[in-house]
Amino acid sequence: MKMLRYVALLAAALAAGAAQAQDKSDGVVKIGVLSDMSSLYADLAGQGSVAAARMAVEDFKPAEKGLKVEIVSADHQNKPDVGSNIVRQWIDVDKVDVIVDVPTSSVALAVNEVVREKNSVFLVSGAAASDLTGPKCSPNTVHWTYDTWALANGTGKALVKTGGDSWFFITADYAFGHALERDTAAVVEANGGKVLSKVRVPLNTSDFSSYLLQAQQSKAKIIGLANAGGDTINSIKQAAEFGIVAGGQNLAGLLVFITDVHALGLQTAQGLIMTEAFYWDQNDASRAFAKRFAPLYKGNMPTMVQAGVYSAVTHYLKAVAALKDDSDGKAVVAKMKEMPTDDPLFGKGTIRADGRKIHDMYLFEVKKPSESKGPWDYYKLRATIPAAEAFRPLKDGNCPLVSG
Amino acid sequence: MISIFGIPSQALFGQLLIGLINGSFYALLSLGLAVIFGMLNIINFTHGAQYMMGAFVAYLVLQYLGLNYWVALLIAPILVGLTGVIIERLFLKRLYQLDHLYGLLLTFGLALIIQGVFRNYYGSSGLPYQVPELLRGGQNLGFMFLPNYRAWVIFFSLVVCLGTWFVIERTRLGAYLRAATENPTLVRAFGINVPRMITLTYGFGVGLAAIAGVMAAPIYNVSPLMGEDIIIVVFAVVVIGGMGSIMGAIVTGFALGLIEGLTKVFFPEASNTVIFVIMAIVLLIRPAGLFGRAT
The tens digit of pLDDT for each residue in A126-163 reads: 999 999 999 999 999 999 999 999 999 999 998 998 88
Q: Where are the domains of chain A?
A: 27-146+282-355, 154-276+361-386
Distance CA A402, CA B178 (A): 74
Q: Where are the domains of chain B?
A: 23-124+146-223
Q: pLDDT confidence of B93, banded at 50, 70, 90?
A: confident
Provide, as residue numbers in chain B, all residues whose Cβ is less than 8 Å from the Cβ of A225.
none
Q: Is B288 exposed, middle or buried (0-12, 13-18, 19+ CB in 10 A)?
A: middle
* Strand extents, DSSP E, B136-278: 138-140, 145-147
Q: Which of A116-130, B9-23, B227-241 has the lowest mean pLDDT?
A: B9-23
- d(CA B142, CA B144) in angstroms, rounded, equals 6
| pTM for the predicted model, two decimal places | 0.83
Inter-chain CB proximity A233 and B221 less than 8 Å: yes
- pLDDT, tens digit, 9 for 90 and up, residues B228-281: 878 888 999 999 988 878 888 999 999 999 999 889 888 888 888 999 999 999
CATH architecture, range A154-276+361-386 = 3-Layer(aba) Sandwich (3.40)
CB-based contact B14 A213, cutoff 8 Å:
yes
Q: How far apart are CA A95 and CA A200, in angstroms?
A: 42
Q: Rounded mean pLDDT of A151-180?
A: 91
Q: Which has the closest alpha carbon to B151: B135, B130, B132?
A: B135
- How far does A127 lie from chain B, in Å, by closest CA? 17
- Contact of A214 with chain B, judged by CB distance below 8 Å, is answered with yes
Nearest CA in chain A to B120: A38
Residue B273: closest CA among chain A residues belongs to which residue? A202
Query: Is B107 at the interface with chain A, CB within 8 A?
Result: no
Question: Do the domains spanning A27-146+282-355 and A154-276+361-386 agree at the CATH topology level?
Answer: yes
| Cα angle for residues A309, A315, A317 (degrees, 5° grid) | 100
User: Which residues of B, range 228-287, sit inside 8 Å of A by Cβ?
Assistant: 229-230, 261, 264-265, 268-269, 271-273
A213/B119 Cβ within 8 A? no
Architecture category of domain A27-146+282-355 in CATH: 3-Layer(aba) Sandwich (3.40)
- Does A173 touch chain B if contact means CB atoms closer than 8 Å? yes
Q: Which of A173, A202, A217 sits opposite B11 (nearest CB)?
A: A217
Number of helical H runs and strand E runs in chain A: 16, 15
Q: How far is A277 from chain B (nearest CA, A)?
A: 20
Amino acid identity, residue B15? Q
Query: For the segment A1-50, what is each residue's pLDDT rounded down to a tens digit?
Result: 455 455 555 555 444 444 344 334 567 999 999 999 988 888 899 999 99
